[in-house]
Amino acid sequence: MFKKTIIESTGKSPWLFHINAGSCNGCDIEIVSVLTPRYDAERVGFKLVGSPRHADIAVVSGPVTKQSLPRVLRTLEQIPEPRCIVTCGSCPQSGNVFRDSYSVCGPLGKYVHVDVDIAGCSPKPEAIMDGLLLAAQILAEKKKTGNQEATLPNPYAPVKAAEDEKSEEKGDE
Amino acid sequence: MDFPFVKQAISQLFSKPSCDMYPFVPSEAAPNYRGRIAYDPDKCIGCGMCVRVCAGKAITLKREPVDGGENITLTFDLGSCTFCNTCADFCNDHAITLTSDYHMIATKEEDLIVTGTHFKEKKKPAPKPAAAKPAVPVKTTPEAQSAEKAPAAQTAAPAEKSTEATPASEAVPAAPVVQPRDDGKPVNDPAKCIYCTICAKKCPQEAIIVDRKAKTWELNADDCVCCGTCQSVCPKDAIVM
């Protein structure tokens, strides 16, 4: 009976779980600042929770160190489906300056399907907000379609040259 | 009964929220914010200095030989970038800039790739005599050329300087002892050079070979891309371009 309502409202109140996979703490501080009254992610429905079992979106920061890898994977498995995995900062995507280190097993994409990458070192709180909002939309899409690999067009993708020209023409008009 | 907080509570109820309404109100990055990389392939000379200084190994340079030159492709992976601005700082031709665009969100890897290709014409080594350039009229060109050809001879350098000293002092005292080449590539002044090898270490193309013991300075002109790094790092200003 309420199934439709639940599906529709999923994207409006996703719960976050933050995993530090050996991060330098820069991204963690920015994630916390997103939740402070200045940026206040709770106003758009995000809520930081203490257990992965309550979460919809996992935010991973850090280059995924050897020590943290089994714990990260175990934590991510505990998040009930449909779930979204968001990487925060350059480290989980590539290893960044820790790349090729003996203690780094990243990038995270080798082990799990990552839905949204937020680049930056560390990203601006606004950028994290952008990423989380996109992740929330993807989460709603997953719930709707039941497809765990579902994705949405990225509104922040770099504009192609042809589209650039189009927008210029529009601007002229 | 006294409720001291009622006034405060009511005024707060009708005041504006103190948070940034970001997704609904666009927000500008602070001045000098280092965000998405903008690369101008037309300015790039393909020296590869940015690749060398990048801590996150975010930059890759690819050379594809084509007719009459080569295509140089520089690819920046923002997913591996620290946004430290070092590549832009080291770029002699200001081809790299970090813009204030912070919306770097990706669902695919391609969303975070900044790339650009430029065609570089292969220059034929021009064997023009240095005399064609009337930069310093007093200069005795054969001597300057001989200094270019054999910059190694430290013993020859003082002798050359002594012969040079008389005509040079008449015109401009600060005139360089060697003349710059026509093709814009560096020339070493053996009178000033201390063979510290800094230019050889800093050369992104490894086109300079310096031997400290033998006191030789050689330039592999085919590899040189005229980036000017050797000139700027030389502690004795011995390199003329």
Kindly report, residue by residue over B15-66, the tens digit of the pLDDT: 888 888 888 888 888 888 998 899 988 888 888 888 888 888 889 988 888 8
Same-domain pairing of B97 and B37: yes
Range of the domain at B186: 141-158+176-240
Inter-CA distances, A168 with A112, A161, B28, B101, B114, Å: 40, 11, 22, 19, 21
Indicate which CATH number applies to the domain containing A157: 3.40.50.12280
How far away is chain B from the Cα of A157, in angstroms, using its nearest Cα?
Answer: 5
Put simply, whether the predicted model's pTM sits higher than 0.90 gets the answer no
Q: Note whether residue B102 is domain-resident.
A: yes
pLDDT value for A77: 92
Residue B108 has pLDDT above 50, yes or no: yes
| Mean per-residue pLDDT of chain A | 85
Indicate which CATH number applies to the domain containing B191: 3.30.70.20
Residue B154 has pLDDT above 70, yes or no: no
Same-domain pairing of B146 and B228: yes
**Total number of domains constituting chain A:** 1
- Asked if the ipTM is above 0.85, the reply is no
Residue B233 to residue B106: CA distance in whole angstroms = 39
Q: Note whether residue B135 is domain-resident.
A: no
| A 91-130: CB under 8 A from B | 93-97, 99, 115-121, 123-127, 129-130
Same-domain pairing of B181 and B226: yes
Kindly report, residue by residue over A100-150, the tens digit of the pLDDT: 889 998 788 889 999 999 998 889 999 999 899 999 989 988 888 888 888
For B117-132, what is the mean pLDDT?
A: 60
**Total number of domains constituting chain B:** 2
Same-domain pairing of B145 and B117: no
Indicate which CATH number applies to the domain containing B106: 3.30.70.3270
Same-domain pairing of B106 and B145: no
The answer, for B18 touching chain A at a CB cutoff of 8 Å, is yes
SS3 B239: strand
The number of angstroms, rounded, from the C-alpha of B51 to the middle of its chain's C-alpha atoms is: 11
Question: Are the beta carbons of B234 and B181 closer than 8 angstroms?
Answer: no
Range of the domain at A17: 3-172
The answer, for B104 touching chain A at a CB cutoff of 8 Å, is yes
Residue A20 to residue A28: CA distance in whole angstroms = 7
| Mean per-residue pLDDT of chain B | 76
Same-domain pairing of B54 and B115: yes
With CB atoms and an 8 Å threshold, state whether B111 touches A133.
no
Question: Are the beta carbons of B207 and B49 closer than 8 angstroms?
Answer: no
Residue A171 has pLDDT above 80, yes or no: no
Same-domain pairing of B45 and B102: yes
Kindly report, residue by residue over A85-99, the tens digit of the pLDDT: 999 999 998 888 888
- Sequence length of chain A is 173
Confidence at A53, pLDDT banded by 50, 70, 90: very high
Chain A neighbors of B32, CB-CB under 8 A: none
Residue B87 has pLDDT above 70, yes or no: yes
Residue B28's closest chain A neighbor by CA? A126
